[in-house]
Amino acid sequence: MEYFLTEEEKALKEKVRRIAEEIILPVRDELDKKAEFPREIIDRMAKEGLLRIFIPEEYGGTGARIMDMSIACEEVARICAGVATAYAVGALGSGPIIYFATPEQKKKYLPKVASGELLCAFGLTEAQAGSDVANIQTTARKVGDYYILNGVKQFISNCTIADVYVVLASTDKTRGARGISAFIVEKGMPGFEFGKHENKLGIRTSTTTELIFSDCRVPKENLMGKEGMGFIYTMRNFDRARPGVGAIGLGIAQGAYESALKFAAERNLLGNQYIQRKLADMATEIEAARALIYAAARAIDSGIKNTTKPASFAKLFPSDIAMKITLEVIELMGPHGLLREYNVEKMLRDAKITQIYEGTNQIQRGQIALEIIKECGYKKE
Amino acid sequence: MELNKEILLLQGEIKKFAREVIAEKVDEFDKNGIFPIDNIKRLAEMGILGATIPETYGGCLLDALSLMVCLEEIGKVCPSTALIILTHNILFAYPLVRFGNEEQKKILSKLAAGEVIGGFAERSTNDLRISAGSDFYKISGSNPILLNGVADGPFILFIESDNSINAFVVDEKIPGVIRNKKDNIIGMNAGGITEVVFDNCLIPVNNRLGREGEGRFILEEITNFANLGFSAINLGISEGAMENAIKYAKERVQFGEPIINFGMVREMIIEMRTKIEAIRLLIYDAARLYDAQKDFILKAGIARYLSNRAAAEITTDAIQVYGGYGYMKDYPVERYFRDAQVSRVLCSSNIDLRELIISRTI
């Protein structure tokens, strides 16, 4: 469908599609099998300027527009959602630096993120703090010119390959969510190590490990923004990142749909009304998801004040249709769909995570419901 | 729909075996793609490998309802093991009993004893070049899905040529049959699925099941029974996934309370339970019709159609209940999710199922 993309956006879409097909497509199956993510892929993407789109112009980027991010994430995920995750997490990790860091921190990190010299990650989740983000147990104690970090982060994407980790830790346990602060931790800081590599159902081309902090000394200049603001930064950062996650779901759905269409054509099934119905539904859902993501991205880029609802819309619906469509494609392709060589089983495995990460779809529904209730002037209880 | 005393006894026995013995290594076998041969031998001692074989041939023929209850109980714990049992009984032994000549039936007692495990080449993935001679069919090509391929036993292969379909028993006497283990299938990793390659393979006409051209009918008969069997595995998978999801939701604390207290989690469990009860009724109903020698075909088709979806939806939601943990191989629900994909598409496509349902409805 015609979405009236600007010339720059159209050019970006074409460029990312070309890069994804050229450099990711030939290796995605092998990387998925071995559960490996080579940093070289991100380096290649950086060389093509794809990491600049995370970053504002004044720091060497191209504007940090959510719209650009959504376009790029869809195109990468159409080929491989694991690589798209690694890419999007780079943006998720650099987001707080863009919006909440001190001018010195911005100058220090952002130009290098734009050029691809530094890759970011975001350390929030813990064993007991999944959906319940405020329940994090990692602590940061201020001693002289340092904060001493202790604790374990879990399921952190881009671990080991990223250079810069935005890490959430409690500086004041008595204050709960308002006692959480954000820190910029660099790979190699003493007391900062990686734990076990997770063996995952999907997005196996994206690394996931624990972050282990044992008396890790982080210079006080690496506190991001103000103490106690970490939770708020996180929520606002998520609002900016969620359309990108939705776009990963959209890319998976698009890739799976294209595979189904090709399969049906090769087997002369296109005259079958049952197949037609399935393809028509998939195509409709994909366009609806794309329109929703673009609308949310443009709204957030325009500077609207309350970004929560559009961001949650743009994550919830596309990830749900990614799951639905990949399941349908397996049904449509039958036993062929089970086989690695057709790639749709990978898309199915990858799709599942989009309903879970960066706020489960139950959390998104809760957020949307709360916003609706607030807008109407009703009360929850 | 109550089960009678005899079936309840069998169910109890199988359930105990599944939970005490099969469960022990289920994750290890899945992870390393190990065919659970010892467990299969134990199930043979319990008579389960002769479930479709009459006593005169050394089996201990079970009614369909009993077999479905067994597949359900095993499927709750290890869907791969249930698939092995289904393939052996319904896709191999059953057509041999129904359509085999006395020479072909000689193997039945070994099948019942579990000395030989029967296999089945998924028909829709056959990629064969066939030339028919007077005494032999010459076959080249391959099929990526040979069920029970690892067990090296005989298997049934459908060969289509000149608009006729024939079923053949491919046994160890036929040279040029190569099985390759490839780990290229999303699930049922312990189920012993291999690729099979036919290298200028000569299959004697004597290995044909039934008369020339009878394959289409044999295929339908197998498929109808298999619809019932795969429904029972879908059901077992669904129940196993739900059971784990409930257990986890009761233990997992977020926001200061177990997540089972949250409406959005309860909603998923409600959907699971409702679908499970519905498909179980359909399966038991169809099995009872089968046992009463009444027309069970439509009911079995509907059970398969609905349970294919239910298994997919329930295992997807079971992962959702676990959140990030559900996506990790350290927890069992991602295995149920992968296994469900296999169980819901083998043997009959959803196009076939739709045609079966509509043709018997209008």
B183: pLDDT strictly greater than 80: yes
CATH number of the domain residue B340 falls in: 1.20.140.10
Task: Work out the pLDDT band at B351, boundaries 50, 70, 90.
Answer: confident
The residue among B150, B99, B157 whose CA lies nearest residue B127 is B157
> What CATH superfamily classification does A231-375 receive?
Butyryl-CoA Dehydrogenase, subunit A, domain 3 (1.20.140.10)
B224 and B355 in a single domain? The answer is yes
Would you say B172 and B130 are in contact if contact means Cβ atoms under 8 Å apart? Answer: no
What pLDDT score was predicted for residue B349?
82
Confidence bin at A380 (pLDDT 50/70/90): confident
Is A121-228 a domain of CATH 2.40.110.10?
A: yes
> Among the three residues B64, B89, B113, which one is the final residue of a domain in this structure?
B113
Domain spans of chain A, in order of start: 7-119, 121-228, 231-375
pLDDT of residue A12: 98
User: How many whole angstroms separate alpha carbon B47 and alpha carbon A176?
Assistant: 60
Mean pLDDT computed over A270-292: 97
Residue B162 has pLDDT above 90, yes or no: no
Cα dihedral A268, A271, A275, A279 in deg (nearest 10): 100
Q: Phi/psi zone of residue A191: left (φ > 0), alpha (ψ -120 to 50 degrees), beta?
A: left
Same domain (yes/no): B241, B344: yes
Give me the pLDDT at residue A379, please.
87
Q: Pseudo-torsion of CA A197, A198, A201, A204, nearest 10°?
A: -30
Nearest CA in chain B to A128: B254
Q: What value, to the nearest 5°, has the Cα angle with vertex A141 and ends A135 and A142?
A: 140
Residues B227 and B340 in one domain: yes
Structural domain for B145, as ranges = 119-209
Q: What is the CATH number of the domain that holds B72?
A: 1.10.540.10
Three-state secondary structure string covering A232-299: HHHHHHHHHHHHHHHHHHHHHHHHHHHHHHHHHHHCCCCCCHHHHHHHHHHHHHHHHHHHHHHHHHHH
Last-in-domain residue among B139, B174, B209:
B209
Domain shared by B94 and B144, yes or no: no
Kindly indicate whether the ipTM for this predicted assembly is greater than 0.90, answering yes or no.
yes
On average, the pLDDT of chain B sits at 96
If you count them, how many residues does chain B have? 362
Q: β-pairing, B253-254 with B257-258?
A: antiparallel
Which residues in chain A have their CB less than 8 angstroms from residue B325's CB? 130
Residues of chain A in contact with residue B307, where contact means CB-CB under 8 angstroms, are none
Q: How far apart are CA B135 and CA A1, in angstroms?
A: 59
Same domain, B191 and B234: no
Task: Based on the fold, state whether residues B233 and B338 are members of the same structural domain.
Answer: yes
State how far the Cα of A275 lies from the Cα of A264, in Å rounded to an integer: 8
pTM check: above 0.80: yes
Position A289, amino acid = A
Return d(Cα A64, Cα A43) in angstroms, integer: 19
Top-confidence residue, B162 or B320: B320
Q: Does A332 touch chain B (CB under 8 A)?
A: yes
**pLDDT above 90: residue B134:** no
Claim to verify: residue B346 and residue B223 sit in the same structural domain:
yes
Instruction: State pLDDT tens for residues A43-68.
Output: 999 999 999 999 999 999 999 999 99
A345: nearest CA partner in chain B: B186
B136 in the same domain as B234: no
Q: What is the pLDDT of residue B303?
A: 98
Please determine, for residue A261, whether its predicted confidence score (pLDDT) is greater than 80.
yes
Q: What is the pLDDT of residues B7-37, one digit of tens each?
A: 999 999 999 999 999 999 999 999 999 999 9
pLDDT of residue B350: 82
By Cβ distance, the residue of B185, B316, B349 closest to A339 is B185
Residue from B127, B186, B248 to probe the interface with A (highest A Cβ count within 10 Å): B186
What integer pLDDT is reported at residue A36 of this predicted model?
A: 87
- Please identify among residues 242-281 of chain A the ones whose CB lies closer than 8 Å to any CB of chain B: 272, 274-275
Pick the CATH number of A7-119 from 3.30.310.80, 3.40.1790.10, 3.40.630.30, 1.10.540.10: 1.10.540.10
SS3 B198: strand
The closest of A274, A277, A344 to B353, measured between CA atoms, is A274
Q: Which chain B residues are closer than 8 Å to A131 by Cβ?
A: 254-255, 323
**Mean pLDDT over residues A300-325, rounded?**
97
Q: Are strands B119-121 and B127-132 parallel, antiparallel or unpaired?
A: unpaired
User: Cβ A135–B327 below 8 Å, yes or no?
Assistant: no
Same structural domain, B149 and B77: no
- Residues of chain B found within 8 Å of residue A198, distances taken between Cβ atoms: 328
Same domain (yes/no): B347, B261: yes
Phi and psi at residue B128, in whole multiples of 5°?
A: -125, 145
Nearest to B341 among A131, A272, A348 (CB): A348
Known catalytic residue at A285 = no
Choice among A358, A371, A375, A381 that is catalytic: A358
Degrees, nearest 5: CA angle A355-B342-A356: 10
Provide the pLDDT for residue A38. Answer: 82
Q: Are residues B219 and B350 in the same domain?
A: yes
At B226-242, the pLDDT tens digits run: 999 999 999 999 999 99
Model confidence pLDDT, tens digit, residues B323-337:
999 999 999 999 999
Question: How far is residue B84 from each of residues A87, B15, B148, B171, B346, measured CA to CA in Å?
Answer: 42, 17, 6, 18, 13
Q: Is A139 exposed, middle or buried (0-12, 13-18, 19+ CB in 10 A)?
A: middle
pLDDT per position as a tens digit, A98-153: 999 999 999 999 999 999 999 999 999 999 999 998 999 999 999 999 999 999 99
CB proximity A370 to B under 8 Å: no
Write out pLDDT tens, residues B49-82: 999 999 999 999 999 999 999 999 999 999 999 9
